[in-house]
Each structure stands twice: as C-alpha cells, then as structure tokens.
Amino acid sequence: MNITARKPHYCLQCDDGAELELGVRDVTLHADDVTRVVPEVAGWHCSKCGEIEFVDQDSARRMSAAWGGAWAEVYGGALRRENTFLDSRLRGNDAY
C-alpha cells in the first residue's frame, strides 16, 4: 500500500486550515459514554479536531464498524436501563 502518493493538504473541518498529517494511528472514538479504540487507522489525520481522510478501504471500514458498534452499545445500554427500571416498577421496588 502506497500511502505517500498524495501531497499534504488541509483539514476541511478546521476553520484555520490545520495541516493534516499522513500516518497510521490508533484512533479513539467517543459515542456518548462508550469509548472504542480502532488500531492502526491509515489516513490523513487532523491533530486538532480528529478528522480523518482515509487512504484505504480497510481503515474506513473498520472505523465505520467501530462507530456502528459503539452507538449500538450506547442505545443498547439505554434500552437495558429502561427495562431494568420498568422491571423494578412492576415488582413494586421503589428503591431503583
């Protein structure tokens, strides 16, 4: 894989045009209170906002899957809390 083929360019998310850095990094995702680390993500990374411009399909796919999994966990957790609450109410347990 040749990831040095493109010239450096600038972050589209940052107003001041931070320079993106080409490399392979472990990227940490935050979806609500769920955190995921995606190892060895190849691409142009913005050190300011965390924006990534992917240079290969594999990294993009793994990031996408991690986001999906993290949000599924966020919503799954919310659902479980709701069910636990309902269960405790049905049992007349006000100590929830």
Binding-site ranges for Zn ion (CB under 5 A):
11, 13-14, 18, 46, 48-49, 51
Please report how close the Cβ of residue 10 comes to Zn ion at its closest, in angstroms: 9
Please report how close the Cβ of residue 86 comes to Zn ion at its closest, in angstroms: 43
Please report how close the Cβ of residue 90 comes to Zn ion at its closest, in angstroms: 49
Distance separating alpha carbons of residues 66 and 60, to the nearest angstrom: 10
48, two tokens? 């300011």
DSSP state, 12? S
Q: Which is nearer to Zn ion, 47 or 88 (CB)?
A: 47
Tell me the backbone φ, ψ of residue 30, rounded to 5 degrees.
-125, 110
